[in-house]
Structure 1
Amino acid sequence: MDLYEEPASYLLLRTSTERDSAWLRDLAKELPKTCRLDGFDISLEQLPDSARFPSDINYHVQDILAPFPVEFLRQLLVMGLKADEWERAIRNLGNILRPGGYLQWTDIAPFASSIVPGTPGCNVDDAKRYLEKFIEVISNYGKSGKSVTELYSHFKKCGLKDCTEDILFLDEPEYKAVLNVNYVKVISHVLQAASSEAGPGSDALPMDQIVRLERLAMKNVQETNSSFLYKLYVVTGRRCGAADQGSLIIHDAMQHQQVSARIYPI
């Protein structure tokens, strides 16, 4: 399938706010000038100064579970999103795909994450403690990511054809330091958000303890040359119809560097 055969419309979609929209800017640099990029998000408050973006990037407010504007239906799209109502989101996205178009969803299953010791038997207790608290908190909020492991069955249930599932380990040695920093920051943000919303009797950690655990975890993996390891699920399916008429890539912004390298060989 040649994505450059005709002018195309590319779409970045997120349903959770992201401070860094670099992925869409990076994508613009790699695509022909004939491509238009429309960014959709649940809110635009987090976007930086629009002067930082190329003139061919437009941003709109859009909920992944709500109908899309008619001008975006049946277009060739690249999408990045995070959603919890999986089947509803998949069916809604199907309305945007051309007949025969492909939907590809990539996401991480946090509950399946682990710590890989730099050397056998080295002490990674601080990093493990930090990760375990993260999994405990997101599980309490129903965000463990267990549905990620069921994406393939959701695709089949929603009527997509030729479905495939690949499970990748985010363990590239050259990215270890960057990944460790990013994972620790994400965990810290989640724990802080839970702490800020905690009510009486909550088991959420106080802010000062979160800062301390973050520092200890980062120091632990650096001193032992250890790493956080996550599984990346890549599920692809095709909408019924003429083959190879469009593609839709769903991309988790948390790990865009690795996904971009694997999925967009441009």
Structure 2
Amino acid sequence: MASKDDYVFTRDILDNSRLNLMHKHWVKDLGYLIHPRISTKQENLRIADIGTGTAIWLLDTYDELPKSARFDGLDISLEAAPPLNVLPPNITLTKWNVKDPVPEDLLGVFDIIHIRFFIFVLLGEEVPVVVEKFVAMLRGYLQWVDSDNRSVRTERPKPGGQPENVDEVQTNNLDQLMSLLKSQDPRLNPTWVPELPDIFSRGGLVDVETDIHDSPPHLGFLMHECGLIMHELIARKTKNEKMAQEVKRLLPLAVEETRQGAYLTSTKFCVTGRKP
């Protein structure tokens, strides 16, 4: 039986552009594609990108690593990925759902597994099982990068640099937009990201470290603008017509608040661990 693909976004040209832009913002903000603690100088590395999407992380990593490296992009759907004839020959794309058993030929072969932007894909109870699968695929490091949705907050600018004016910028519609989405689908209100270090350790990884990062205002604002596209995509994809209409009503109002300088931001986690 084919794996069920119930991705909450649209996998179209707008979604692809959103993913590519978000990738650039996140890498600039974090300062790395692969955490500096993970060595990438050795020859013949084999690297997997889980949920590869547009393959943008793989393509940027390809530019930085030795040309002897092999790259595997794995995803439940390859609709967002570039056609194979435009990819370097050492990049391979494979359809695989992380909720399915691991293919035999992918067991114990990867020096680095990278996964990112899965907070709206997995439920909390599914994460430990998925991590165990990644550990089985490893011979090196697992790196998981995601946003802690519990930390989502609205930041307001201080017009003219005057702290007493902070309340002049309204955020009611931004706040309503976030509350609406959280209420509709449990995947849109994830709380498990801060638990990843413990999940890594229980899954058998050692030397687990966590890089916790808050964005400076200028990058936080840019990422927020990019993230607003997600609401439009969810409105298009959802079968809940009432929710779709409310998102469409709130979104232009939230955009106006954004143009006044208000933005939503959250704390980012990069969790790394090594297979003993």
TM-score by length of structure 1 reads: 0.74
Give the corresponding residue for 1:114: 153
State the alpha-carbon separation in 1 of the partners of residues 67 and 155 from structure 2: 43
1:74 partnered with 2:109? yes
Contact 2:112 2:143 in 1 (8 A): no
2:264 to 216, 228, 232: 228
Give the corresponding residue for 1:94: 135
Letter of the structure 1 residue corresponding to residue 137 of structure 2: I
Contact 1:167 1:232 in 2 (8 A): yes
State the alpha-carbon separation in 2 of the partners of residues 74 and 7 from structure 1: 11
Contact 1:41 1:61 in 2 (8 A): yes
Consecutive unaligned residues in structure 2, runs of 5 or more: 1-37, 159-165
Indicate the SS of the match to 1:77.
strand
Give the corresponding residue for 1:133: 180
1:205 to 217, 227, 243: 243
State the alpha-carbon separation in 2 of the partners of residues 218 and 55 from structure 1: 42
Give the corresponding residue for 1:61: 95
Contact 1:109 1:144 in 2 (8 A): no
Q: Per the alignment, do residues 160 and 80 of structure 1 end up closer, same or farther by CA in structure 2, a change over 3 Å counting?
A: closer
Consecutive unaligned residues in structure 1, runs of 5 or more: 241-266
State the alpha-carbon separation in 1 of the partners of residues 187 and 106 from structure 2: 35
What is the alpha-carbon root mean square deviation over aligned residues? 2.4
Contact 1:107 1:234 in 2 (8 A): yes
Give the corresponding residue for 1:193: 237
Contact 1:137 1:191 in 2 (8 A): no
Alignment of 1:1-266 (within 5 A): 2-14=39-51, 18=53, 20-65=54-99, 66-70=101-105, 73-81=108-116, 82=118, 83-84=122-123, 85-98=126-139, 101-119=140-158, 120-121=166-167, 122-138=169-185, 141-169=186-214, 171-194=215-238, 196=239, 198=240, 204-207=242-245, 209-223=246-260, 225-240=261-276
Indicate the SS of the match to 2:113.
coil
State the alpha-carbon separation in 1 of the partners of residues 113 and 187 from structure 2: 28
Indicate the SS of the match to 2:110.
coil
Indicate the SS of the match to 1:2.
coil
TM-score by length of structure 2 reads: 0.72
Q: Per the alignment, do residues 206 and 7 of structure 1 end up closer, same or farther by CA in structure 2, a change over 3 Å counting?
A: closer
Deviations 1:64-86 (Å, cap 9, x if unpaired)?
23213425523312322534411
State the alpha-carbon separation in 1 of the partners of residues 187 and 49 from structure 2: 25
The sequence identity of aligned pairs, in percent, is: 21
Contact 1:113 1:228 in 2 (8 A): yes
Contact 1:104 1:237 in 2 (8 A): yes
Q: Per the alignment, do residues 80 and 155 of structure 1 end up closer, same or farther by CA in structure 2, a change over 3 Å counting?
A: closer
